Structure 1
Amino acid sequence: MGGTDEVADGLAGDRALLGRTSTAERVADILRGRIAEGFFRPGARLSEESIGGALGVSRNTLREAFRLLTHERLLVHELNRGVFVRVLAVDDVADIYRTRRLVECAVVRGLGRPPYALDALAETVAEGEEAARAGDWTGAATANIHFHRELVALAGSARTDELMRGVLAELRLAFHVVDDTRGLHEPYLVRNREILDALAAGERAAAERLLARYLDDSRDGMVEVYARSVAAPGAGPGTGSGAGPGVGEA
């Protein structure tokens, strides 16, 4: 993001979401969504003054929201410098995929007897295919995230849903560093459809095999392209737990 005016304009519409019961959790929800959208990009410094003013919340409330998002590994706090959107290390990306493979494959493996409630999953597949036809690769990326979120939701576990929400939010930090959105997501739209079709046919074991290969291939491709992106000149400051200003200060 750019300066204070841009932040104020971008977040002004979110102020109504706080309602009359403004809380740090609600502020964190708004900022989490904005980070996922790329409104605040990895490495961006978050200004208490501009964000607090745009949302109409106290500094203490905003600091508590920052603390919550730091705990979720979306933000980092640097002493005497401020709060920044986290820039992942390459090892972080690989670890995210390890976690995804453990969780997503376990969900598919643990499904009961078919038929499965696949309407929400089917909607995400259609959403991705429609975005691809329109050349909207950011939309396709979002649909792909939704696909995996809905896949995990088949477990019917609020705790697993919460875990996956954090994992996928971290993954989007990596997506925002990579320029080739189409190349990153297009090959997997077809594979989403294949997994859906296997589940619709009641072929749980086949769906798990497809998913495992999918995640392994996605991990290998993502780690390679992410490593190139963060190593490129001008890719932004630091990786891992630290990130400085310079990838769009807020």
Structure 2
Amino acid sequence: MPVREQVGEQAEGRGGDRARDGGWIANIEAARADLARSSTAARVAGLLREQIIDGLLKPGERLPEGKLQKAADVSRNTLREAFRMLVEERLLVYQFNRGVFVRRVTPGDVTDLYLVRRILECEGVRAAPAAAPEALARLDAAVSRGERAAEQGRWPEVGAADIRFHEAVGALVGSRRVDEMLYRTLTELRLAFHEMVSPREFHEPYLRRNRLLTELITHGRIEAAERELRAYLDDAEAQLLQAYEAADRSTAG
């Protein structure tokens, strides 16, 4: 076959492939220059999420774009893509002509977040009898981390350990999708913890209850564990909402 005809057939074949795949392969090819940037942006977004979980980034705090860009050694566009991801996750908020700030979770958000927690975490408790030993061990590891931090008076770290504990409860389901949903839910909720005037008064009772939940789950007392978890979540939600009401009254006064 003449070379020209062979090339023509190959081109026609590629055109046929594009027609069959609906053109989405061509779209991927056109966007591939952005893939490396998007991957880096996702990593930067992940680092910022961890600062929120650790209690280091607080509601209302402005994110200094120049300093962050230099610290992460990324382009301005990459940093802004990371910001965009976190705005979509309701962790950050953009204020026109002012910049990007850590978002303040609303009382309505708190109610909705606890609704999601009840669904995901209670399912984790029910799934515990079939969970792998290493999944159960994560519960004890998270509680122990919180207990060590409490002994040293590092209450923000106790808050972070509490988040890890509840991630471990959800992980008993054994679903990556559940893990992702609960991680995002708990990261957003972590911002609400800052409404509490005293981190110690808020976290100390729940640290003891985390230990109780771990013992109930690991000893196979699943119904008792689910009852305790539901009461636990009800109490925590009510306490946070009361803190919001007190803060609003103080502001109004």
Q: Sort the TM-score into its range (normalised by shorter chain).
A: 0.7 to 0.9
Instruction: Give the one of 67, 77, 83 matched to 1:66.
Output: 83
Unpaired runs of 5+ in structure 1? Answer: 1-20, 235-250
Q: State whether residues 115 and 202 of structure 1, in contact with CA within 8 Å, keep that contact through their aligned partners in structure 2.
A: no
Q: State whether residues 125 and 193 of structure 1, in contact with CA within 8 Å, keep that contact through their aligned partners in structure 2.
A: yes
Percent identity for Structure 1 against Structure 2: 46
Alignment of 1:1-250 (within 5 A): 23-113=40-130, 117-229=135-247, 231-233=249-251
Q: TM-score, normalized by length of structure 2? A: 0.78
Q: CA RMSD in A?
A: 2.3
- Measured against aligned partners, the alpha-carbon deviations of 1:9-28 in whole angstroms (never above 9, x if no partner) come to xxxxxxxxxxxx97111111
Looking at structure 2, the residues matched to 202 and 70 of structure 1 have their Cα atoms a distance apart, in angstroms, of 40
Looking at structure 2, the residues matched to 45 and 132 of structure 1 have their Cα atoms a distance apart, in angstroms, of 29
C-alpha spacing 1:231/1:90, structure 2 compared with 1 (3 Å)? farther
- Measured against aligned partners, the alpha-carbon deviations of 1:158-182 in whole angstroms (never above 9, x if no partner) come to 1111111111111111112322101
Indicate the structure with greater helix content: 2
Higher RCO (CA < 8 A, seq sep 6+): 1
Q: Name the amino acid aligned to 1:204.
A: I
Q: State whether residues 195 and 211 of structure 1, in contact with CA within 8 Å, keep that contact through their aligned partners in structure 2.
A: yes
Q: Name the amino acid aligned to 1:161.
A: D
Unpaired runs of 5+ in structure 2? Answer: 1-37
Looking at structure 2, the residues matched to 228 and 60 of structure 1 have their Cα atoms a distance apart, in angstroms, of 40
Q: TM-score, normalized by length of structure 1? A: 0.79
Q: State whether residues 60 and 101 of structure 2, in contact with CA within 8 Å, keep that contact through their aligned partners in structure 1.
A: yes
Q: State whether residues 129 and 220 of structure 2, in contact with CA within 8 Å, keep that contact through their aligned partners in structure 1.
A: no
Number of positions where the alignment pairs a residue of Structure 1 with one of Structure 2: 215
Looking at structure 1, the residues matched to 145 and 162 of structure 2 have their Cα atoms a distance apart, in angstroms, of 9
